[in-house]
A and B are shown apart, each in its own frame.
Chain A
Amino acid sequence: MNPEELFLVELTVNGTPLSARVPSRRILSDFLRHDLRLTGTHVGCEHGVCGACTILLEGKPVRGCLIFAVSVTGSAVTTVEGLVNNDGSLGIVQRAFHESHGLQCGFCTPGFITTIHAFLKENPHPTEEEAREAIAGNLCRCTGYQNIIKSVMRAAELIDSGVRDDH
């Protein structure tokens, strides 16, 4: 059997240009985690249901496990690591999760945070039902979602109060 053909995949990840040569079948979440070593993006099911691998592709949340890295070369990607403020303090959604006990084991959390970050850009003043709807494509086994919804509402409050968020 022949060695696999490699493709150069170049991404701008969290503002930094990064690249690696990988086979065409490398899944984007694996590429970020193992080739670029950004392990904040998690993989919970590899079939697109759990949402733990959600990242922002050109600002829009997508499932990292349902995209081939080679297919998005040249794109800008934001992961949960990239939502930290430039001074290292927590971004608004991250802070809201901390303040609202929106996580327990933390495994699903990066996918929620990226999803909610994008959601609040579009709808900065959600109702609780809209918040529930917004997170309804992500699975969490620990929290029962109640405090995640609370976190969405808290993040909206923080945005309103003018708390710093670099992203």
Chain B
Amino acid sequence: MKPSRFQYVRPRSISEAVVALQRHNSKVLAGGQSLTPLLSMRLAAPEVLVDINGLTELSGIELRGPDLWIGAIARHQEVLTHHLVKTHVPMIAQALAYVAHPVIRNRGTSVGSIAHADPAGELTAVAALLEARIHVSDHQGTREILAADFFVGPLESSLQHGELVTGVSFPVLDNTWGSSCQEVARRHGDYALAGVCALVQVLDHQMVSAKIAIFSVGGTPLVIDVMGVHGDPEQLNLKVQAQIEPDTDIHATADYRRQLVKTLVVRALTEARVHAESRRP
């Protein structure tokens, strides 16, 4: 279980990186916690590996206007424990607590996890639910992709050859908003059998907005606006079940996944509301 050969490039700047990514069959190496096993098992064999770990300009976690910006090589653990994250977009921290184990989180990057577009990735759901924007550079310039347009299929994004994700910006939500991330996995830290993130806004103890994102059920995170039905478990479930298409695999049947979604949607909305109330001064 050893990787096949690749050409290794360690750019000193974003511009060097995007030039290197122009080469045939190139791949970005960030935290490598998902990519390295693929390489070791020889399921992936890129000819060029562009290691962006030296690009310190991509390590930031900072407020940029109305957004919280997370750079491409910010490690999960840094993000999870960062005060700006906890204060402004706590859902990210709620989700990251489920991502693998602390040791993996020390090296894995939050942005890499989004770029990997794993259907079981908690952060893909967070990005989709918060309508995060994915910032991309290539040798010709930069562009932004809305999360809704970014996740195309299981492990597949709308990222083009030669493009580098430099960071993701999440809109900051004031303390009228509450969130929760809930999932069921076979083992602690495993990929979820099903998971749900919820985002609600509460004004004067009234829920005025309620949205959920479902992950690990289908190929991409699925965002559903549940405002209106959020208080009626039956209607809520009907609405959600009509939109999901879970698969059966060796760990769970499709119907069991439906049951998990049913349970987790209620759990996440309840917790999100509690969270919103708790954030009020």
In-complex A–B contact (CB below 8 Å): yes
- Contact residues in B for A46 (Cβ distance below 8 Å): 1, 37, 40
Q: Is B36 an interface residue (CB 8 A)?
A: yes
Encode contact with A along B19-39: 1 for CB under 8 Å, 0 otherwise: 000000000010011001101
B1 touches A62 (CB 8 A): no
Q: Is B63 an interface residue (CB 8 A)?
A: no
Dominant secondary structure of chain A at its interface with chain B: mixed
- Which one, A23, A54, A70, contacts B103 given CB within 8 A? A54
The number of residue pairs between A and B whose CB atoms lie closer than 8 Å in the complex comes to 89
A61 touches B103 (CB 8 A): yes
- Contact residues in B for A11 (Cβ distance below 8 Å): none
- Within the complex, the shortest CB–CB distance from B238 to chain A, in Å, comes to 37
Most buried by A among B7, B32, B33, B36: B36
Q: What is the interface residue range for chain B against chain A?
A: 20 to 34
Q: How far is the CA of A57 from the CA of B53 in the complex (A)?
A: 14
- Contact residues in B for A67 (Cβ distance below 8 Å): 32, 36, 107
Q: Is A24 an interface residue (CB 8 A)?
A: yes
B2 touches A66 (CB 8 A): no
A134: nearest residue on chain B (CB-CB)? B102
Q: How far is the CA of A130 from the CA of B136 in the complex (A)?
A: 39
Number of interface residues of A (CB under 8 A): 32
Report A110-137 residues with CB < 8 Å from chain B CB.
115, 119, 133-134, 136-137
Report B34-76 residues with CB < 8 Å from chain A CB.
36-37, 39-41, 49, 51, 53
Q: Is B100 an interface residue (CB 8 A)?
A: yes
Q: Is B235 an interface residue (CB 8 A)?
A: no
16 A-B pairs with CB atoms under 8 Å apart are A24-B6, A24-B7, A30-B2, A48-B36, A54-B103, A61-B102, A63-B33, A65-B40, A68-B8, A68-B29, A71-B32, A72-B53, A119-B102, A133-B188, A136-B188, A138-B103
